[in-house]
Amino acid sequence: MLHSDPAGLPGALRDAAEELDRADLEAAQQAAAAGVRLATAARFDVEALPVRESRKTWRTLVGAAEGCRASLIVAGAHGLSGVGRALLGSVSTALVHHSRVPVLVVPATARDEQTDGPLLLCYDGSEPAKRAMTQASRLLAPRPALVLHVWESWAAEAPALAGVSRSVQGMATELDEIADAQSRDATADGVASAELAGFDATGLSVLAAGPTWSAVLDAAGEHACAAIVVGSRALSGISAALGSVSTAVVHHSRRPVLVVPTEEAER
């Protein structure tokens, strides 16, 4: 409660703080025991680990994960807000942004989604995206995978400029043809990387009709994907900033998302 050592407090306050600590420990042990029962029913080989929070919660969790050499952190997330945006909560958000251990975020809405399809492996040709594939193969149960590459249209921006020059639309169309071909090549490269990581993979090249993250979620929904796999610095499109798309995917997804950091903590 006080984030300090009760031994340094005067008599009555020390006794009260120690009593509160004992009550908190008992509650934590009960919560951990309930978690053990759930995890055992889910076929995990599990043990309880009540940890005293002496810093921010996410720091405590990251420290515990690194201390026990965890290969993955699994975190729940809140449901949808009134405006339809997924709310991770401050702890889950901080874990995604700061953990050097991969984080699997499972939103409350996942139970309402059809998730019997393949894993969706988001790919942009980067090393973080390839790393995410490798880690997903190691961490998640073997299942088919769909490698997704998203490209953006130049022609979609051309109508606003068409009144200035008729050649603009033609140039934009040619650029789109090039981008489409490059996307299909990137998808094939992603499939090869996924197969090298151990997946039975197929490819999907998609033209983004809106934000890149929205195209990712649309593809995941259309194919009933079990989870979405992203690198923490992957998914850059023509105009998407590195990392911003991954963050948006996590915040808006109604199904589980595995976020693999660029570098893991040393084992």
Q: Do residues 84 and 19 both lie within one domain?
A: no
Q: Please tell me the total number of residues recorded for the chain in this structure.
A: 267
Residue 65 domain-assigned (yes or no): no
Total of domains in the chain: 2
pLDDT at 222 over 90: yes
pLDDT at 266 over 50: no
Residue 174 domain-assigned (yes or no): yes
Q: Do residues 237 and 132 both lie within one domain?
A: yes
What is the tens place of the pLDDT at every residue in 170-202?
777 888 899 999 999 999 999 999 999 999 999
pLDDT at 126 over 90: no
Q: Do residues 35 and 126 both lie within one domain?
A: no
Q: Do residues 138 and 108 both lie within one domain?
A: yes
What is the tens place of the pLDDT at every residue in 9-56?
677 887 887 888 889 899 999 999 999 999 999 999 999 998 888 778
pLDDT at 158 over 60: no
Q: Do residues 123 and 209 both lie within one domain?
A: yes
Q: Do residues 251 and 200 both lie within one domain?
A: yes
pLDDT in the model for residue 238:
38
pLDDT at 208 over 80: yes
* Better pLDDT: 126 or 255: 255
Q: Do residues 232 and 163 both lie within one domain?
A: yes
Paired strand residues for 151: 207
Residue 59 domain-assigned (yes or no): no
* Better pLDDT: 23 or 165: 23
CA 93/CA 58 separation, integer angstroms = 9
Residue 5 domain-assigned (yes or no): yes
What is the residue-wise DSSP string for 185-235? HHHHHHHHHHHHTT--EEEEEEE-SS-HHHHHHHHHHHTT-SEEEEETT--
Residue 57 domain-assigned (yes or no): no
pLDDT in the model for residue 241:
34
pLDDT in the model for residue 17:
79
- The CATH number linked to 214 is 3.40.50.620
Residue 266 domain-assigned (yes or no): no
Q: Do residues 27 and 125 both lie within one domain?
A: no
Residue 58 domain-assigned (yes or no): no
Q: Do residues 243 and 178 both lie within one domain?
A: yes
| CA-wise closest residue to 152 among 180, 120, 125 | 180
Residue 10 domain-assigned (yes or no): yes
pLDDT in the model for residue 77:
83
Q: Do residues 31 and 132 both lie within one domain?
A: no
Q: Do residues 29 and 80 both lie within one domain?
A: no
Over the range 195-211, which residues count as b (16 or more CB within 10 Å of their CB) and which as e? eebebebebbbbebeeb
CA distances (Å), origin 35, targets 31, 176, 254: 6, 51, 23
pLDDT at 228 over 80: yes
The mean predicted confidence, pLDDT, of the chain is 83
pLDDT in the model for residue 80:
45
pLDDT in the model for residue 267:
42
pLDDT in the model for residue 32:
93
pLDDT in the model for residue 74:
94
Q: Do residues 30 and 82 both lie within one domain?
A: no
What is the tens place of the pLDDT at every residue in 78-124?
644 433 333 456 788 888 888 999 999 999 889 899 999 999 999 99
Print the domain residue range for 17: 1-50
